[in-house]
Structures are given as structure tokens and as C-alpha cells.
Amino acid sequence: MRLKLVPLDTTIDFFAIRRVTFGASLVAMIASVLVFAIIGLNFGIDFRGGTSIRTEAQNPVEVGAYRDAVQPLGLGDVAITEVFDPNFRADQHVAMIRIQAQDGEEAVTPEVIAQVESALQNLDDTLRFTAVESVGPKVSGELIRAAIIAVTLALAAVLFYIWLRFEWQFSVGAVAALVHDIVLTIGIFSILQIRFDLAIIAALLTIVGYSLNDTVVVFDRVRENLIKYKKRPLKEVLNLSINETLSRTVMTSITTLLALLALFVLGGDVIRGFVFAMIWGVIVGTYSSVYVASAVLLMLGVTRDWSKEKDDKSGGTQFGKSEA
């Protein structure tokens, strides 16, 4: 018995309220930009600068206990992660503690580091501090620039790829959807003031890939149906294509969300921001594939002169002789 989340013969008119949905997307993007400009992001240590302390102990690392020991010091953003390496001895337990730079300081002062060491050694007397490294504002600024360049290059590569595979109208629609997803993700992080670090940049790039995959699946079916149904209006072809791929879209989104929700609940504080970005990205990415990418394609229109159609008697594809 096969599970069907969506009937195979759906006939939903996705563009019946396209002005409302597209307008809502524009308003949400503008609001996200304004919130980002006014409130800004809660940058983590990677972007604000700070100090990393590497510890080693004979007893197993208890991240929660470490965090409870450091919290009374009032150091702000403190990230604690356990380091795993197959080359470690059985009694070698390593942790990485990252502390954000305090106000007016480029890095954590020696006095603060001494306080952290004292608090943790009271927790575990076998604890040793093997390395202390600081990240200054200059390095943080370079990381911000590198992150912006990475996202920009990803969008440019998507634009070029879709342009080559389809038509320029398709590429504009795909990039519009990706920009929509990224802007809304940054907006929600600004509103909720969730810590924004390099892991979130990785999440943004992953969202770009997920959203693009969903959009390309729809666009590929649109291209097939434009050839198959040469006389149908573009709106009908788009609706047909989205309905035909709806079952796949819903199944992919739900299974991905199930895995992400499990990570969000059970994965711990270290990856919670990354997982939240992914959950948000899956939701807005699925939405934008239909209500942004396809809506932009509908507004721009598309040329139906498909390369070999004039020279090939079969119309250039297996659907060349079909017409509705």
C-alpha cells in the first residue's frame, strides 16, 4: 500500500490569488530589509571577534555542566562544543570554548580567561587548557566579506546555470526566488535575534541548493508541457506543471522537515541555529518555487521557439506531435 499525501490528479489554481501572494512576498522582503537595517543581526563570535579556549580532560565532557559553570561570569555569547577525533586516547576528552569579545575590547582579556579557567577547574580538577586563540575585528570583517561574496557567487552561478539550461526568463524567476528566501531568512534571524555565525552562512548556501532543486523540478516540467501543449496559455501550463510535481514537492518537504525537526529538538544548542535556518528555508523555499519563481515567469512570459522545433519534423522532442 503506497502512501499518497497528495492526490495524483490535483487541479489547484495556484495563480488565482497571485497578486496577493506576490505582493505579500514583496512586503515581507521589504520588511526584512528594514528590520535588518534598524535592528541588525546578533552576530556570533565568528563575526564579532572573541577568544577560543581548547580544553582537555580525563573525564567525559559535559557541555551543559561547562555552560552552567561559565554562565555566572556574564560573558555573553559563549559557545561550547566537544571535539571528536579518532586519534584521541580513551581518556582524552577535548572541548572548544568560544567567548565573544567584550564591549570595547578586541579580544577576551587575560583576567576573563583566568576566571573561566578557575570556574571550569572547580568543575573538573583534571581539566587542562592546551590552547588559547583570539579572533580580532579585522578577521571578523574579512569573514563577513567572504560570506557575502560566497552567497553572491552562488546566486550568480545559479543565474548562469538556469540561463543555459532553460531561457533567461526562467533564470530570472529562479534567482528572484532565491533572493526572496535569503532575504526572509536574514529577516527572521534579525527579528528573533538568533545568533548569526558561519554555520548560518552554510545554512543559507544549503537553502539556495534546496530551493533551486525544487524550482528546477517545476521548471523542467514546465518546459516539457510548453512543448507538449503549444496552444495552451502560459498560466494553464504553469498550473498543470505545478500540480503534476506537487506530490513530489510535498513528500520531499515533509520528509526533510521531519529530519530537521528531530535535529532541532534533540541536536542540542550548538546546531540549533543552523537547523532553525534550514527549517525556515525549506518552508519558504517550497513556497517561493511556486509563488515567486513561477509568478515571475508568468509575468515575463516565455518564448516557445524551442531550438530544433523548426528543423525536426517531430518537433524536437517526444511530445512534438502532441497538442491540446
Q: How many CA atoms lie within 13 A of 236 on its CB side?
A: 7
With contact defined as beta carbons under 8 Å apart, do 25 and 73 qualify?
Answer: no
**pLDDT bracket for residue 26 (50, 70, 90):** very high
d(CA 105, CA 239): 57
Indicate whether 319 pLDDT > 60: no
**pLDDT bracket for residue 138 (50, 70, 90):** low
Comparing 45-49, 116-120, 178-182, 272-276, the range with the smallest average pLDDT is 45-49
Which three cell numbers, joined as nine digits, stand for 223? 518546459
Which three cell numbers, joined as nine digits, stand for 17? 490569488
**What would the pLDDT profile of 247-282 be if each residue is shown by its tens digit?**
888 888 888 899 999 988 887 666 788 899 999 989
d(CA 56, CA 211): 41
Q: Is the dihedral of CA 194, 197, 201, 203 positive or negative?
A: negative
Query: Average pLDDT for residues 241-252, to the nearest whole number?
Result: 86
Query: Average pLDDT for residues 109-136, to the nearest whole number?
Result: 78
Indicate whether 107 pLDDT > 70: no
Indicate whether 117 pLDDT > 70: yes
Top pLDDT among 204 and 313 is at 204
**pLDDT bracket for residue 324 (50, 70, 90):** very low
With contact defined as beta carbons under 8 Å apart, do 200 and 184 qualify?
Answer: no
With contact defined as beta carbons under 8 Å apart, do 135 and 51 qualify?
Answer: yes
Query: Average pLDDT for residues 56-83, to the nearest whole number?
Result: 79
Our measurement of the distance from residue 297's CA atom to the centroid of its chain's CA atoms, rounded to an integer in Å, reads 23
Q: Strand 50-57 and strand 128-135: pairing? A: antiparallel
Query: Average pLDDT for residues 316-324, to the nearest whole number?
Result: 40
**pLDDT bracket for residue 141 (50, 70, 90):** low
DSSP 5: S
Local structure of 229: helix, strand or coil: coil
Top pLDDT among 139 and 197 is at 197
Which three cell numbers, joined as nine digits, stand for 55? 580544553
Domains of the chain in start order, with CATH, are 18-41+140-309 (1.20.1640.10), 50-135 (3.30.70.120)
**What would the pLDDT profile of 195-236 be if each residue is shown by its tens digit?**
887 788 888 888 888 888 888 888 888 888 888 887 888 888
d(CA 308, CA 322): 16
**pLDDT bracket for residue 172 (50, 70, 90):** confident
Q: Which run of H or E residues covers position 37? A: helix 18-38
Looking at the chain, the whole-number percentage of residues with pLDDT higher than 70 is 83
Comparing 48-62, 102-116, 287-301, the range with the smallest average pLDDT is 102-116
Calculate the average pLDDT of the chain: 79
d(CA 199, CA 140): 14
With contact defined as beta carbons under 8 Å apart, do 47 and 195 qualify?
Answer: no
